[in-house]
Amino acid sequence: MSPPTYRGRFAPSPTGPLHFGSLAAAVGSHLDARHHNGTWLVRMEDLDTPRCVPGAAEDILRTLEAFCLHWDGEIIHQSRRSAAYEEALQRLKGSGAAYPCCCTRREIADSALHGIDGPVYPGTCRNGVTAGREGRAWRVRTDLFPSPLGGEGVVEFDDALQGRLIQHLESEIGDFVVKRADGLFAYQLAVVVDDAFQGITHVVRGADLLHSTPRQIWLQRLLGFATPAYMHLPIAVNAQGEKLSKQTLASAVATDDVVATLIAVLEFLRQQPPAELRQGRVEEVLEWAVGNWKPERLKGCRQIPAPSGVACAVRTT
Ligand code: GLU
């Protein structure tokens, strides 16, 4: 066990109740933190207010409690942290790393190549917005030389499970948005500011965010923040190979048989809970899981089918 310097977090977006996949991310980050005698925080990523569902944050917290995933300290809410994001944006502007952009989604889609995460912004407004138009969004440059990462803006990092990831931000992602045209701060900026604010040393989350990590490392360097260690857990997919989510109609995690569900999550995470734990209490299952946490069993694994019965991908349309 390592010294108690580990600080991890679970950062759900309250766009709906936890489903099997998001519960697996919560359990994985909790186990990793507790296995290292660390602190485990919960942060509500309720920044994208139009997508937040009333009552979902409370529902998520009740579910975490039902599974005895007790968190440390205060929960922070991104919706109340605009001042911190604004300050970070000012610093990016001040150093010339951020610039205003007037392009519409349509214009970008028409002129850009498609990358791993949507259109690669071609840099249209880098040297100023088109005459007569006003910049509403703010983007961060990915072509800064000398690059804050050394080399030519190539971000390299070693994920504990997914191995080495190398991304050339400018050609694979393009200058990315840190403040949206609708005035909301972008996830990429908020998560970096909050991870630094909360002193997070280890980020354990779903592999759907693997390709966002280089953008976050880029921002950490531009803002002078430390880079945490990253571990991206496999995401749960349904029979069609789609990520469980509200869009794929994943059902909410049931809390009537928490022991059975927790054991299913542990099996999904390739832990091997002994059969007799099925008769145990949820606290006992968790204690076993903390002591026996072996994430290396998930090496190289980006997605795993959710057990049947929890994916619930029956489409109504
Ligand atoms: N809020 C993000 C989500 O629910 C997770 C962010 C993170 O863990 O960095 O997908």
Among 131, 160, 188, the domain boundary falls at 188
- The low-confidence residues of the chain, meaning pLDDT below 50, are 311-317
- Ligand 1, closest atom to CA 216? 9
Structure confidence at residue 253 (pLDDT): 85
Residue 212 maps to a domain: no
The number of folded domains in the chain is: 2
221 part of a folded domain: no
Domain boundary residue, one of 130, 165, 188: 188
Tell me, yes or no, whether 296 lies in a domain: yes
Residue 31 lies in a domain: yes
Q: Is residue 198 helix, strand or coil?
A: coil
Q: What is the pLDDT of residue 74?
A: 96
CA of 12 to the centre of ligand 1 (A): 5
Reported as type and span, the H/E element at residue 37 is none
228 CB within 6 A, ligand 1 = no
Residues 63 and 75 placed together within one structural domain of the fold = yes
Query: In terms of Cα–Cα distance, which of 234, 259, 243 is closest to 24?
Result: 234
Work out which ligand 1 atom sits closest to the CA atom of 206: 8
Specify if 257 maps to a domain.
yes
Ligand 1 centroid to Cα of residue 134, in Å, is 31
Q: What is the pLDDT of residue 243?
A: 86
Residue with tokens 């005459």: 131
| Length of the chain counted residue by residue | 317
Give the ligand 1 atom nearest the CA of 195: 9
Same domain for 90 and 177, yes or no, is yes
Ligand 1 in reach of 45 Cβ (< 6 A) = yes
Determine the residue of 44, 45, 219 to mutate for testing ligand 1's pocket, defined as the one with the most ligand atoms within 8 A of the Cβ atom: 45
In tens, the pLDDT along 232-264 reads 999 999 888 888 877 776 788 877 889 999 999
Strand partners for 109: none
What is the model's pLDDT at position 3?
52
- Does 191 sit in the ligand 1 pocket, CB within 6 Å? yes
CATH number reported for the structural domain that contains residue 110 in this entry: 3.40.50.620
Structural domain containing residue 55:
7-79+234-315
pTM for the complete prediction? 0.94
